[in-house]
Amino acid sequence: MRSVRKEIEFTEYDSIDQLNSSDSALLASAIEIAHTAYAPYSNFKVGAAILLKNGEVVIGNNQENIAYPSGLCAERVAIFHAGATHPNEPIETIAIYAESHTIPVDSPISPCGACRQVIMEYRHKQSTPIRVILKPQQGNIWVFKCVSDLLPYAFDLKGLKKQN
């Protein structure tokens, strides 16, 4: 018997000005698109901006529905948008921002389990890591080197994927 310990590492920044220009521009896109989220039920607006290897940025925000489970998180709107429009372009980074005018959002909002799983699918599809940047309305920014840090031991079974 043995115990196994896994550590998760991320970098914390006090403000957007400390990020490099590429990351701060991506975060600015996530912040901008959060403002137009459709969130009449939660009043919790999330924006996601994805930087592709070719330099293009693909965005998404949360879209709610009166039948609650029919809505979708910003991360999945953005990542499916990228998958639909740029199916063969690797994803370098996803920046995620959340805001609310009813509750304080003062610590990084990390993607829900379903979104982590979906982002991991795209990570497995490509050979390079997908960086994750998280920014709350107020408070520190967290940068993860790869989405796999947010979903350790993710389900992956090579044989399950049919070879075409």
Q: What positions carry a catalytic annotation?
A: 75
**Binding ligand THU by CB under 6 A: which of 74, 79, 95, 133?**
74
Q: How far apart are CA 142 and CA 11, in angstroms?
A: 6
**Per CB under 6 A, does 44 bind ligand THU?**
yes
Q: How far apart are CA 37 and CA 64, in angstroms?
A: 9
Answer yes or no: are the C-beta atoms of 89 and 100 closer than 8 Å.
Answer: no
Query: CB of residue 47 vs ligand THU: minimum separation in angstroms?
Result: 9
Q: Which two tokens stand for residue 50?
A: 């994805």
Footprint on residues 98-127 left by ligand THU (CB under 6 A): 109, 111-112, 115
Query: CB of residue 45 vs ligand THU: minimum separation in angstroms?
Result: 8
Answer yes or no: are the C-beta atoms of 26 and 51 closer than 8 Å.
Answer: yes
Catalog residues that contact ligand THU under the rule CB under 6 A.
Answer: 39, 42, 44, 46, 62, 64, 71, 73-75, 109, 111-112, 115
